[in-house]
Structure 1
């Protein structure tokens, strides 16, 4: 007798949640989901649209939460037609959002009091990487629970790593996004150097990604920089912003020197202040180019 796939609930089917839900549907999992608006793509992919978080929680065996911040999470958990009043013992919650470690631990404790288990899963990868099943999952929580959830995790991506207790996954995610920040600024610096050395921008992006200087961020962001394709944004500044703050706080609490991250962060903060929040972070090259222009103008002025 074939055991039916567990019903997967998905609250938060936006830029990141939608490709996760689509991967689950393609793997054969029945998925019921909720989002306040723009649910057409989810329904078109084969998802069943629910009309409240509570409806999703009641229908699902395993509930995935993919919300942008702690405030949105609290509203879904405890608001009208919220999750906490609808969960029953034996269900599993997979927390995909990036929040403070203390917030996650408190959430896990609340769920445990209702005999509901929680797995912390941080997604490292842009929405296109998630769609192509190339993202990585950083996982915190009970290892045996992870094994029970493996079919669902594998439907999302083959790359998952158990790191320890609840809170360990968010720590690794912040480390990863510190590298995203540094590597994106480094890619912008390299692209600007290449163009000013007389090369076509597309040629720089093509050649460097095949050599020792390549990085994941160069491969993803350099073509966007060359094409000046900053919108629609696969990874906007406004999404990265909270990781900048959380990463800086974690480094400070651990007493870690972060010379490159500390240098890079102000560029991204300046981009947000300049009204670029919804552009892709590859647009940081505009600040590097602007600084280069000012330097040339200053040298020309001194020469006169």
Structure 2
């Protein structure tokens, strides 16, 4: 099918779904979408808004679902004017939400009973990374279906990887997000140490990211820490909480030793408990600042 004639449907055109939709439109796809509120940015970008998930499913050749959790997903699949009842043979569903492997397998069975086919495509990257086509897509499902969907995936980002059967993509996403937590806390630790050593925070952010100590999270979040720009949040503590829970569960099931993740996760949970849920996870630096003590006091440093 010609790209310009293929219709992509999107249910979930919020913080992450919107830049995905924009990338698709810029690549020449017609994009039809549904969101209950705040559709203006989607419309301004050239999207076509309809009144229900079912309308999106009926209009689309390929349907992307980009929803924040299993409750929202269930409402879209099964609620009034839901997706499942509107699917037909030949349709393709790409599930972009992060849920358990069991949830995705059950969803795929339901999609297949309707005559359609399903891939999972986990997004690894912040909304700005998606907008700049620097994010990665981890894809699970049938290899032939992955190949058929490559024009759509290419339009979102050139960095996409087919990892195996359904469920493999969410496993890789959880591995990646354990590193997000670890590297963000490490960036906060470095920024706090730099400021306490007498450097301007902007200088620490500028210099460290040019050397061997840099990471993707330092590049993104050290400038946010320096500017104290914790809202609006490209990645909030509320959002990360799901990945911490699922990642810890996967590590337990696999019997993995996770010393760094085990040390890092409680900081993000404390931020949630402290009412910081809507702030970006870069705000974890505030916890380290609060824990820091006068240089004249004795610390607990095992290398001394």
* TM-score bracket relative to the smaller structure: over 0.9
Gaps of 5+ in 2: 299-304
CA RMSD of aligned residues (A): 1.4
Corresponding residue for residue 122 of structure 1: 122
Corresponding residue for residue 184 of structure 2: 184
Corresponding residue for residue 205 of structure 1: 205
> Residues of 1 paired with 2:117 and 2:98: CA distance?
18
Corresponding residue for residue 252 of structure 2: 252
Corresponding residue for residue 240 of structure 2: 240
Contact kept? 2:94, 2:118, Cα under 8 Å: yes
Structure 1 counterpart SS, 2:195: helix
> Residues of 2 paired with 1:142 and 1:155: CA distance?
20
> Residues of 2 paired with 1:297 and 1:268: CA distance?
26
What TM-score, normalized by structure 2, do the two folds share?
A: 0.96
Task: Say if 1:4 and 1:129 are closer, same or farther in 2 by CA, change over 3 A.
Answer: closer
Corresponding residue for residue 222 of structure 1: 222
Per-residue CA distance 1:31-68 (angstroms, 9 max, x = gap): 00000100010011000001000000000000000001
Corresponding residue for residue 109 of structure 1: 109
Corresponding residue for residue 152 of structure 2: 152
Corresponding residue for residue 301 of structure 2: none
Tell me by how many angstroms 1:257 deviates.
Answer: 0.7
Structure 1 counterpart SS, 2:67: coil
Corresponding residue for residue 169 of structure 1: 169
Could you list the runs of 4 or more consecutive aligned residues of structure 1 that deviate by over 6 angstroms after TM superposition? none
Tell me by how many angstroms 1:298 deviates.
Answer: 9.3
Corresponding residue for residue 296 of structure 1: 294
> Residues of 2 paired with 1:46 and 1:244: CA distance?
36
Tell me by how many angstroms 1:296 deviates.
Answer: 2.5
Residues 1:277 and 2:296 are matched in the alignment: no
Tell me by how many angstroms 1:17 deviates.
Answer: 0.3
Corresponding residue for residue 56 of structure 2: 56
Tell me by how many angstroms 1:222 deviates.
Answer: 0.4
Tell me by how many angstroms 1:279 deviates.
Answer: 0.6
Per-residue CA distance 1:262-301 (angstroms, 9 max, x = gap): 0000000000111111111000000000000xx329939x
Gaps of 5+ in 1: none
> Residues of 2 paired with 1:70 and 1:149: CA distance?
24
Corresponding residue for residue 22 of structure 1: 22
Residues matched between the structures, number: 298
Corresponding residue for residue 90 of structure 1: 90
Tell me by how many angstroms 1:2 deviates.
Answer: 6.0
Corresponding residue for residue 302 of structure 2: none
Structure 2 counterpart SS, 1:85: helix
